[in-house]
Structure 1
Amino acid sequence: MLWWALHLPALSLEAFIATLPPEQAARPAALVAAHRVAVVNAEAAACGVRVGMKRATALALASDLLLAEANATRDATALRAVTHTALAYTPAVTLQDRQTVLMEVQGSLRLFGGAAGLQQRLAAALAPLGHRVQMAAAPTAVGAGLLARWYPQPGGANAAAPEGAAAANLLHGPHSTDLTALQALLAGAPVWLLGPGREHWEALQGMGLHTLHDLQQLPRAGLARRFGTEVLDELDRALGQRADPRRWLTLPTVFESRLELFARAETTEQVLHGAGVLLARLLAWAQARQARVGGFTLRMRHERQRQVLQPPTELAVALADPSAELGHLQLLLRERLARVVLTAPTLELQLHCQQLVAGEAPNGELFPTRAGQAEGLVRLLERLRARLGDDQVLRLQPVADHRPECATRTVPAQGGAGAAAGDGPADAHLQATLALAQAQAHGLLPLHRPTWLLPQPQPLSERDAVPWLQGQPLQLLSGPERIETGWWDGEPATRDYYIAQTREGALLWLWHARLPSADEAAPRWFLQGRFG
């Protein structure tokens, strides 16, 4: 087996920074647990703030320091997005601890072009989540997790994984496949890397036990009596000397994620920044399900105004063309938010999605095609709907009626009322648009009827059984096409349709009343539409 470990050393701080507005992201920040500083960012460290300080001391050193309580739920939500990203490349994903994700990738290497190709794809997929990730490989799950947390530097110093070529060896060195090489590498690892070892770190130090090699030199029975069997069990699993069964993580069928903002969002731009974090997590989930997003709902919970709880604001975004592009989803959400007036400052964002379209995104085209142009039109309609509203962007839908004025109706462009249940948003509309483009490309649409109909048929004069328009006779080119319908709804139509041509060459669509009218002076020729 080949295990990869993804360790996020600054997960808590990065999950907190994601809740800040963009203008505050570069300020000194720290997380507090039990009234003492637990994590600091680089800006706070430059001001002298250190882990273990009291809150008052940290504020005295950095007056503009952003302090927040460490939140395990917030960290778990951020880590869940990383597990979803890993599940897109292997179904064997589990957790090592609150900051480390394990994935068994032996069966995925050939599919993604080897270890180097998989590493490149995985790094690109993790980038939108905004986390610093340390990666390591080993033939054991615990061994990979220990290497991701620690790597021996030249000279014996213990530090995080180095950058450059040394960091690449964490995934591609001999320790990744050879158990003996892994055991030799882990011999110099500090004891505190083991989970139970952190609990007994002071006692182990007092006994002169600093590395895993030191731990292995002592009698196992004595260690088990003093520190319990957990330390030895984890050590054996890291070295491949004990079985290590795992329970794989599974994907939820519906995406739900929330983000509590550190500062209240008073503008839609601030809301969009927080929503971008949720959209990145949404795409990680969708890609793990091998699908594209067909629509989502953003729910904004507001601050109380004069002790009155404001109702939450919900924005439903439906896509005509399912997408797995973060930039496209952000663009549509930006257009929708531009039309929203916030009733009160926003405190929390929730994102819900269960509209997925299975299948990978279509491949890009080397040369432009009719189908590609049609998809570009669909993207344009999405932006217009997001900016103007669904009720302002309409399309024509065929109706089973032979009368031209009754043969179509206008419906919202996201899809007809009779769309089949379970179809993606506007899936029927997309298919119809693509079919139209293909038919036009092959010349399969004979122009028997014009696309431009007059609001009301225009009466024409008649001389010697020939229709006239603007003082000129019209030449009948084809017809008649007889229509007799509507007798059941009180608006009967008995007409003969013709295609006529003016002297200038313009094509017209006329109809002639087949039955005589009671008024002999009433016109019998009418102009219904124009071609071209």
Structure 2
Amino acid sequence: MLWIALHLPSLSLESFEATLAGRPAAAGTEVHAGDGGAGTAAGAGSDSATPAPIALIDAHRIVAGNAVAQALGVRPGLKRATALALAPQLVLGQADAARDAAALLPVAHAALAFTPQVVIARAGHPFDDAHTVLLEVEASLRYFGGLERLLQRLGRALAPLGHVVHCATAPTAQGAALLARQHPDCHCADDAALQRALDELPVWRLGAGREHRDALQAMGLRTLGDLRALPRAGLARRFGEALLAELDAALGTRPDPRVPLALPATFESRLELFARADTTEQLLHGAAVLLARLVAWLSAQHAFVRRFTLVMQHETRWRRSSATPAESVLEIALAEPSRDREHLLVLLRERLARIELPAPTLDLRLAAADIARRAAPNSELFPTARSEVEGLTRLIERLQARLGAAQVQRLAPLDEHRPERASALQAVDAARVERLVKAPRAAGSSIAGAAGAARRPVWLLPEPQPLPERQSRPFLDGSPLQLLSGPERIETGWWDCSLAERDYFIAQNGDGALVWIYRARLPLETDGEPRQGWFMQGRFG
């Protein structure tokens, strides 16, 4: 067996930073307490390039801080008042195990795209610490081209989640987990290499070792190698069986069964914002975090989303009246199923720009249940017909999200020979774009078939423009027109009193531009006006 351990040493801090609406507050920011423990960091969405000092507290003591806070002297274990005295501009957040678990789950989902044997290390497990995901990948190595390529692809899959990840591999799950927490990028191919690497680890890396740390150090036992050199019976008698059990599990001499993660059938993730969001950009920051989690879940399902819903919970205190809804629901439907995070974010940005929030938002929830399972698109060196159609579909989706579905229209052919009546504007159904573009039109389904459409311009003049003629030759802008193809004769309209008898030609003017002209074969039209002679009805692009 071969296990990969993914340890996230800064998960608690990163999960809190994800709740900040935009970039963390710059130096000099004041932090005020708000309802429900939330705070308002003035300037949290600031464009200042100066990062803010951020720290987490638990029981009024600092438990973690970012690099800026540490540079100001803020260290784990300090009291809250001491930390604020050292850094008055410090942004403080409450440590939250549930928030950390919600942030760790997408990491496991991303790992499920590479192997079904994925385990989230739980603090309740006898040998586990939190913030670690374990993958058993022995059966996946050949498919992904070896361990090195698998690790590269795994790194690319985890990158959108925005976490610092320490990775290690070993023949045992517990051994890989211990190495990932101490030595990032440590890889042991066999039991001998694993034993050598474990012997160098400090003894407090074991859970029971932390419990007896002072006693072990007083005895001169600082590494796991020191422990293994002592008689097992004496160690068990003095420190209990748990210390040796965890060491044996890491070395592979003791069974260590793990229960793989079960993937939920539907996706739902929630993000409570640190400060209330009043603008689209602030909402997009939180929505981007949720979309990254959605993409990780879709990758585990080997699926693509057709539709997802963003629910924005409004702050009760800022609702204008009792008629103001408690939440706003925004549903995004895609023409083509996708799991492209950037594309989903663009659609969400365009839709959010068109709505007005009735009240500030403190809580975001993203849900998706409508998915499609299909093969992933192949990477292409050169554009193909399919990739060009997908690009058109995404353009239509973006225009509809920005302008509204009814505002994006297309020309639909009608069963009519007269050009001015042969098409009509209809709302675009982006889901049918690929079929309309790629599928050949059924024979006889429309009089204006594909072959005829190729000989006609798309844009017609509002009214046919009379053309002067000399010696039966039409002129345009003082220059004679050269007839290139034709005639295409049309005789129709007798049933609705709009009789038309015309011969159509494609002509070229002196500048090389192509125009569509016709010669009327009737001396009078139905309105009694003279219509005999040459007319221009359209221009080719």
Normalising to structure 2: TM-score of the pair?
A: 0.74
Letter in 2 for 1:24: A
Corresponding residue of 1:360: 376
State how far apart, in whole Å, the 1-side matches of 2:303 and 2:440 are.
26
Q: Cα distance, 1:380 vs. partner?
A: 2.1
State how far apart, in whole Å, the 2-side matches of 1:484 and 1:237 are.
91
Q: Cα distance, 1:250 vs. partner?
A: 2.9
Letter in 2 for 1:359: A
Q: 1:384 and 2:382 equivalent? A: no
Letter in 2 for 1:76: A
CA RMSD of aligned residues (A): 4.2
What does residue range 106-255 of structure 1 map to in structure 2 within 5 Å?
Answer: 106-151=138-183, 161=184, 167=185, 170-171=186-187, 176-206=188-218, 208-221=220-233, 223-224=235-236, 227-255=239-267
- 1:226-252 CA-partner distances (Å, limit 9, x unpaired): 554333322211101022222111322
Greater CA drift, 8-17 or 29-38: 29-38
Corresponding residue of 2:18: 18
Number of aligned positions between the proteins: 478
State how far apart, in whole Å, the 2-side matches of 1:135 and 1:479 are.
74
Letter in 1 for 2:379: N
Distance 1:44 1:228, change over 3 A: same
Q: Cα distance, 1:318 vs. partner?
A: 3.0
What does residue range 59-98 of structure 1 map to in structure 2 within 5 Å?
Answer: 59-97=84-122, 98=130
Greater CA drift, 223-232 or 76-85: 223-232
Is 2:141–2:147's contact at 8 Å kept on the other side of the alignment?
yes
Corresponding residue of 2:39: none
Letter in 2 for 1:30: A
* Counterpart selection for 1:35 from 56, 60, 76: 60
* Counterpart selection for 2:342 from 315, 327, 332: 327
Q: Cα distance, 1:195 vs. partner?
A: 2.9
Letter in 2 for 1:22: R
State how far apart, in whole Å, the 2-side matches of 1:60 and 1:129 are.
33
State how far apart, in whole Å, the 2-side matches of 1:232 and 1:510 are.
100
Q: Cα distance, 1:342 vs. partner?
A: 2.3
State how far apart, in whole Å, the 2-side matches of 1:6 and 1:349 are.
27
Is 2:389–2:433's contact at 8 Å kept on the other side of the alignment?
no
Greater CA drift, 235-244 or 136-145: 235-244
Q: Cα distance, 1:16 vs. partner?
A: 0.7
Is 1:321–1:378's contact at 8 Å kept on the other side of the alignment?
yes
Letter in 2 for 1:18: A
Q: 1:336 and 2:342 equivalent? A: no
State how far apart, in whole Å, the 2-side matches of 1:479 and 1:32 are.
84
| Percent of aligned positions that are identical | 50
Q: Cα distance, 1:398 vs. partner?
A: 6.6
State how far apart, in whole Å, the 1-side matches of 2:415 and 2:212 are.
79
State how far apart, in whole Å, the 2-side matches of 1:484 and 1:520 are.
14
State how far apart, in whole Å, the 2-side matches of 1:247 and 1:346 are.
38
State how far apart, in whole Å, the 1-side matches of 2:455 and 2:507 are.
20
State how far apart, in whole Å, the 1-side matches of 2:506 and 2:347 are.
47
State how far apart, in whole Å, the 1-side matches of 2:418 and 2:517 are.
17
Is 1:476–1:498's contact at 8 Å kept on the other side of the alignment?
no
Is 1:292–1:361's contact at 8 Å kept on the other side of the alignment?
no
Is 2:393–2:433's contact at 8 Å kept on the other side of the alignment?
no
Distance 1:321 1:451, change over 3 A: farther
Is 2:309–2:331's contact at 8 Å kept on the other side of the alignment?
yes
Secondary structure, counterpart of 1:379 in structure 2: helix
Is 1:48–1:61's contact at 8 Å kept on the other side of the alignment?
yes
Corresponding residue of 1:351: 366
Corresponding residue of 2:33: none
- 1:48-91 CA-partner distances (Å, limit 9, x unpaired): 11111111111111111111111111111111111111112222
Q: Cα distance, 1:360 vs. partner?
A: 0.9
Distance 1:408 1:365, change over 3 A: farther
Is 2:55–2:90's contact at 8 Å kept on the other side of the alignment?
yes
State how far apart, in whole Å, the 1-side matches of 2:422 and 2:241 are.
79
Q: Cα distance, 1:17 vs. partner?
A: 1.1
Is 1:320–1:430's contact at 8 Å kept on the other side of the alignment?
no
Distance 1:350 1:412, change over 3 A: farther
Q: 1:261 and 2:273 equivalent? A: yes
Distance 1:203 1:484, change over 3 A: farther
Letter in 1 for 2:199: A
Is 1:260–1:348's contact at 8 Å kept on the other side of the alignment?
yes
Letter in 2 for 1:238: A
Secondary structure, counterpart of 1:264 in structure 2: strand
Corresponding residue of 2:331: 316
Letter in 1 for 2:17: I
Corresponding residue of 2:133: 101
State how far apart, in whole Å, the 1-side matches of 2:25 and 2:527 are.
82
Normalising to structure 1: TM-score of the pair?
A: 0.76
Distance 1:520 1:86, change over 3 A: closer
Corresponding residue of 1:55: 80
Is 1:497–1:509's contact at 8 Å kept on the other side of the alignment?
no
Any unmatched runs of 5+ in structure 2?
Answer: 27-50, 123-129, 444-448, 467-484, 510-514
- 1:394-433 CA-partner distances (Å, limit 9, x unpaired): 33567899999998765543x3xxxxxxxxxx43322322
State how far apart, in whole Å, the 1-side matches of 2:355 and 2:307 are.
18
State how far apart, in whole Å, the 1-side matches of 2:304 and 2:85 are.
49
* Counterpart selection for 1:433 from 429, 433, 437: 437
Secondary structure, counterpart of 2:144 in structure 1: coil
Distance 1:71 1:521, change over 3 A: same
